[in-house]
Amino acid sequence: MRPVRTALAGALLGTLVLAGCGQTTPTASPSGTPAASSAGFPVTIEAGNGKVTLTKKPERIVSLSATHTETLFAIGAGPQVVAVDDQSNYPPEAPKTDLSGFKPNVEAIVAHRPDLVIVSDDLDKIVAELGKVNVPVLVQPAAVKLDDAYEEIAELGAATGNKAKADEVASGMRTAMEKLAADAPKDKKLTYYHELDQTPYAATSQTFIGQIYAMFGLTNVADEAPDAAGGYPKLSAEFVAQADPDLIFLADVKCCKQSKDTLAQRPGWKNLSAIKNDQVIQLDDDLASRWGPRVVQLAETVAAAVAKA
């Protein structure tokens, strides 16, 4: 039985995802032996929506996930992508449309004549709805640990006929992340606060982003919040002021225009150590909310902040 993954696909997305870690297997022929194909097809992907069999290499892919759009282009499947959702802003050459991953419209999706649709969530029963018109869908949910991210990249490689490149990308990510963790200072005992939005919602160490910070030996102040069990507690200004974290990471820069100056205007925050010591790090909102190949860049930003502190 496949293990069940539970993840909040970033508080900015606000979607609770229940799905499983995936794997890929060649489709068996009636004789019980793997079906032969020069391009590796047919192939069966064990995704978040169960086993999905693709009989041939998809040539018209629609991505309704910004993370998976990034991955598709990174693994060499870009030429196969005919449309992406309105949140897919990277890479710049991705064929961005007004399609929505949050409110998927079957007619609008089918208009692009896809032979594969990739989503992070089965919202509005999009898998079943597209199944009615024989369009295969892969649900690749939000990663809750780095191994999930690597595995999804490999799955997308197998599903799109780009397995070798996908394995190369995943292996390179793993190597880079391990090196960053190994090179991190071992003698610093720093605390941090990761802000998702200015209300303020935070992320605990149990989340995907929290586990990246843990690679560098950082202690998350949000772990002590009353409702930390959900992974994304809403903190009070007083809680953060009392915790007085050494580092503050802002993932609400683009969306909410937050900065060291705006933080200093909050009640009781102007004397926080991170503000006084110029240890407020403005992250790229996109990097901080996605789990694709560019997660390495996010980790590099955290590593630089720890080295500076």
pLDDT at 37: 39
Residue 8 has pLDDT above 50, yes or no: no
Report the alpha-carbon distance of residue 7 to residue 147 in Å, rounded: 14
For residues 135 and 30, membership in a common domain is answered with: yes
Residue 108 has pLDDT above 70, yes or no: yes
Nearest in space to 303 (alpha carbons), one of 204, 190, 221: 190
- Give the pLDDT band of residue 39 (cuts 50, 70, 90): low
Q: Quick one: CA torsion of 289, 292, 293, 294, rounded to 10 degrees? A: -10
Number of domains in the chain: 2
Task: Supply 220's token pair.
Answer: 């998350």
Residue 18 has pLDDT above 90, yes or no: no
- Give the pLDDT band of residue 40 (cuts 50, 70, 90): confident
Across-strand partners of 116? 61
For residues 163 and 191, membership in a common domain is answered with: no
pLDDT at 34: 38
For residues 225 and 303, membership in a common domain is answered with: yes
> Beta strand 43-47 with 23-26: parallel, antiparallel or unpaired?
antiparallel
For residues 165 and 189, membership in a common domain is answered with: no
The CATH number that applies at residue 290 is 3.40.50.1980
For residues 142 and 289, membership in a common domain is answered with: no
Span 124-150, average pLDDT = 97
Which of 119, 146, 176 corresponds to the end of one domain? 176
For residues 83 and 214, membership in a common domain is answered with: no
Total-model pTM = 0.87
pLDDT at 75: 98
For residues 242 and 275, membership in a common domain is answered with: yes
Q: How far is CA 172 from CA 57, 98, 138, 155, 165, in A?
A: 25, 33, 24, 16, 10
For residues 159 and 277, membership in a common domain is answered with: no
For residues 147 and 215, membership in a common domain is answered with: no
Domain residues for the domain of 214 are 184-308
Report the alpha-carbon distance of residue 287 to residue 115 in Å, rounded: 29
Mean pLDDT of the chain, nearest integer: 89
Which of 176, 202, 235 corresponds to the end of one domain? 176
pLDDT at 187: 87
- CB 253, CB 225: distance < 8 Å: no
pLDDT at 4: 28
For residues 152 and 12, membership in a common domain is answered with: yes
pLDDT at 138: 98
For residues 44 and 171, membership in a common domain is answered with: yes
Note the pLDDT tens digit of each residue in 188-234: 999 999 999 999 999 999 999 999 999 999 999 999 999 999 999 99
For residues 153 and 224, membership in a common domain is answered with: no
Which of 124, 144, 176 corresponds to the end of one domain? 176
